[in-house]
Amino acid sequence: MKMQEETYQSEKFIIVKTGVNGLDDLIEGGFPEKSITLVSGSPGAGKSILCFQFIYEGVNNGENVLYLTLDKREEGILLQAKKLGYDFQPAIENGQATFRYLNINKKLVYETMSNEILSGKYDRIVLDSITPLSEMPLFLADTQNNMNGSGYSFVDTENQSTGLSGPVQRKHILFIMNALESSEATTIITSELSLSSSNLSRDGISEFLADGVILLKADPTMDRRKLSIFKMRNTKHTLKPQDIQINENGITLVRKTM
C-alpha cells in the first residue's frame, strides 16, 4: 500500500490520493485515510467516472479495492469502466479488485453488503449508490441478537407502505455508515440528484454523517460541469465551484488562465 503521509497540527494523517487530476491540490493532497466522502450529482455529472478514477488509483498503488453497485450488474459496470479507459479485469483476476452487485429485492442485501465491507480486505470502497438502499421498503428494529452486532435486524415489509419515515430512513443510513466506518477503508458513496435539486443528497441525511461532501453539477444548456467541495474533515479547502472537463483522462479540473 502506498499512501502519502502529511502532518497537521502535531497529528499525523495519512492522505489517500483521489486519482482525479487537480482535485488533490484543492484538498491538501487527497482524502483523509479511513474517511467517507459523499459524492452527489445529477445523471451525467460524472459520479461514476470519479469513482472509477478513485479505485483505479488504488489499484495502481497496489491497494485492494471494492466496488459495490446497485444500479448495474458487475458486467455492465466493468464494461462502462473499460469504455472510459479503466480496465479492472487484470486486478479482478489477481484478487486486487472486487465488484459486487447488490440486489435490493433480496432480503439479505444488507447482510451481503456488510459481510463484504467488514471482511477487512479492502483499502478503498465505493458504494454506488446509497440512494436505493436508503429508500428500501424494510424496517430496521433494535435487537440484542443481530447480525454483525449492528444493533439492527431487518424485517420484510413487502405488504406495508414503502414510504419510509425520517427516523427509519436515518437508521438505514446510519447502519450503512457504521459498517463503512468499521471497515477502516477510505470510501466514496454516491447519491443521485435531479438536475434542478439544490440538496446535497437525495435523502438529506448522508451529508451530515459523511466526512466529506463533493457536489457535481451538469448544466446542459451551457455545456458545462462543475465540482464543489462542501466539506472535508481535517482539510482546508475552497468552497468555490470548480470547472471540470470529462475526457479520455476522466475528470480533470480546468485551470483558469489569467
DSSP H helices in the chain: 47-60, 74-83, 89-93, 109-117, 130-134, 166-183, 206-209
DSSP H helices in 22-144: 47-60, 74-83, 89-93, 109-117, 130-134
Residue 110, pLDDT score: 83
C-alpha cell at 13: 494523517
- Per residue in 117-153, is it b (16+ CB within 10 Å) or e — as a string? bbeeebbbbbbbbbbebbbbebbbeeeeeeebebebe
Residue 88, pLDDT score: 98
Mean pLDDT over the full length of the chain: 84
Domain boundaries, the chain: 35-225
Mind listing the pLDDT tens digit for each residue in 117-154?
A: 999 899 999 999 898 877 766 544 443 344 444 444 55
Residue recorded with cell 424494510: 138
Residue 13, pLDDT score: 78
User: pTM value?
Assistant: 0.84
Residue 152, pLDDT score: 47
Residue 150, pLDDT score: 46
Residue 166, pLDDT score: 63
Give the chain's residues under pLDDT 70: 1-12, 136-167, 256-258
Provide the CATH topology of domain 35-225: Rossmann fold (3.40.50)
Torsion-angle region of 189 (φ positive above 0: left; ψ -120 to 50: alpha; else: beta): beta
Can you tell me the distance from the alpha carbon of 225 to that of 173, in angstroms, rounded to the nearest whole number? 28
Can you tell me the distance from the alpha carbon of 97 to that of 90, in angstroms, rounded to the nearest whole number? 9
